[in-house]
Structure 1
Amino acid sequence: MEDALPTYFLSHGGGPWPFMKEQYGSTYDVLEASLADIPRQVGVRPNAVLVVSGHWEEREFTLSSSAAPGMIYDYGGFPSHTYQVKYPAPGAPQLAARAAILLAQAGFNAGLDPNRGFDHGTFSMLYPVYPQADVPVVQLSLRHGFNPQAHVDAGRALAPLRGEGVLIIGSGLSYHNLHQFGPGGRLASHKFDDWLRFALLELAPSERTGALLHWDQAPYARMAHPREEHLMPLLVAYGAAEHEAAACVYHEDEFFGSLAVSSFRFGQARQP
């Protein structure tokens, strides 16, 4: 797919972090720089962004279809100003409908939700990428049950959008155990991240797909992801570029002092 945009699996960080510079200091500097570099890698302004958010689950794959999505402050205990932030990107109802048709053609009962707004898996991640909020955005939910094959197949179904100027981003975290989000998570995050980078960067595509479909057999998998909603966006982004080269576009070994975390691109960068 020579003219296709790459796809991404990106860490969206914790809560409304881009709007808390005073509180977090330099904690998110490396992640922020990696996100800010994505427009350079993509090389063109996308016609739209399709975000698979780890913070939205439905019985069936569902797409936000509002022309002007609102905000969903799906976090708690943060400063009051973080419940007033806006990411006023337009929606893209035609893209939502097109994606629903592609999913339906692949055998999924895809739905449209005209009331769904942007959750922080979308706006916290996209703010450093497109701070002007001038690129239309559609969110795609996960499918309840988190069947890995279904999420890879959904990515395969959506792959044609890449040739239509749509940037597909899976938004989650490569390590997501909130009960061990610190020194207690060091071993699990490092072992799982080592496996994930090996699987994505070293294995042949056929072996790579099999490894992802059986991700829960990886070292420390269930300690890294007790519940896999923050990993499933990876499978959709991967499925949309299954046979293309992967690159690690963000990595830290000491995130929050101890955690290993990574983000990935699938397909070639197209920087001008």
Structure 2
Amino acid sequence: MTNASPRLPTVFISHGGGPWPWMPAAAPAYAQLTDELRRLPSLWPTARAIVMVSAHWEAPRFTVQGAAQPGMIYDYYGFPPETYQIHYRSPGEPALAQRVAMLLGGAGLPASIDPERGYDHGMYSPMQVMYPRAQLPTVQLSLREGLDPEQHLALGRALAPLRDEGVLLIGSGLSYHNLRHFGPDGAAASATFDQWLGDTAALTGEARNQRLRDWSQAPAARLAHPREEHLLPFMFAAGAAENEAAVRTYHQRDFRGGLTVSNFVFGLPA
């Protein structure tokens, strides 16, 4: 692949809930996140493709989406009927999928390629806002079952070379994800954990890695993430920019009735 310049950053985004960009009634609740997602592509105008780790795909081993034109997975429940007919037409890129699998294998992280896997809403909901013309080829990559933080830091580390090949690495999750307390009941826990996450993102190297390995010991950790699948995309983005600090590009304290949520970009040029 042809190298691109400059080296691209990596990003963790909070992707919202379900198919919200296709729901006009949701627009007021998502106005601040919408503004952020629309702005983000200006930070990496040279990106030619995307590799995205979504919270909504887990597999026994890291698995790469290999379809040339992925279909749609409507992995949500109880939404309006029309939201089960939406389509996001971004192309895949089988050659990039092969490159991802090669890099992972070389790092001792055996990977599979799934030629049938479609896009889930952790991908197409934020991408509909970021790239409404669906012009960038996008390859999704699974989490690995077991949800081990170190493996997902290593996942990012293994794919860091793609940053020099014009490929943007995105972790798509939520900085707070406790559906039983998704609203005012989660205000205190989300704010407490978000503070820890921001402090951690500002670190680099082993100091940050160690905090992320031990994330469940952080203040309000299990209140914010009873299960960590929505946090591990942050580990991926951090691992791919291991020695580079992150900046918080989005910070909302009244999301969905009082939650604190954030996005982070690692490795922005000074």
In structure 2, distance between residues paired with 1:62 and 1:142 = 8
Cα contact 2:147–2:228 (8 A) shared by 1: yes
> Aligned letter for 1:239?
G
Determine the structure 2 residue equivalent to 1:36.
Answer: 38
The one-character-per-residue Cα deviations of 1:132-173 (angstroms, maximum 9, x if unpaired) are 001101000000001110000010000000100000000000
Runs of 4+ deviating beyond 4 Å: none
Consecutive unaligned residues in structure 1, runs of 5 or more: none
Q: Distance in 1 between matches of 2:180 and 2:101?
A: 36
Separation in 2, partners of 1:108, 1:204: 23
TM (norm. structure 1) is: 0.96
Residue 8 of structure 2: which of 5, 9, 25 is its match? 5
8 Å contact kept, 1:250–1:262: yes
* 1:244 corresponds to: 244
Aligned to 1:263: 263
- Specify whether residues 99 and 18 from structure 1 end up closer, same or farther in structure 2 by C-alpha distance, changes over 3 A only: same
Q: Contact (CA 8 Å) 1:177, 1:225: kept in 2 or not?
A: yes
The residue aligned with 1:207 is: 207
RMSD: 1.3
Distance (Å, rounded) in 1 between the aligned partners of 2:264 and 2:9: 10
What is the alpha-carbon distance in structure 2 between the residues aligned to residue 53 and residue 245 of structure 1? 22
Give how far 1:38 is off. 1.2
Structure 2: gaps spanning 5 or more residues? none
The answer on 1:103 being equivalent to 2:100 is no
Question: TM-score, normalising length from structure 2?
Answer: 0.96
Q: Matched residues in 2 for 1:209 and 1:20: separation?
A: 38
Aligned residues: 267
1:77 matched to which residue of 2?
78
Matched, 1:154 2:136: no
Distance 1:206 1:189 in 2: 25
Rounded to whole Å, the distance in 2 between the matches of 1:20 and 1:166 is 30
**Aligned residues of 1:50 and 1:140 also touching (Cα < 8 A):** yes
Seq. identity, %: 53
Q: Decide which moves more: 226-235 or 206-215.
A: 206-215
CA contact (8 A) 1:41 1:269 kept: no
Asked if structure 1 preserves the Cα contact closer than 8 Å seen for 2:204 and 2:244, the reply is no
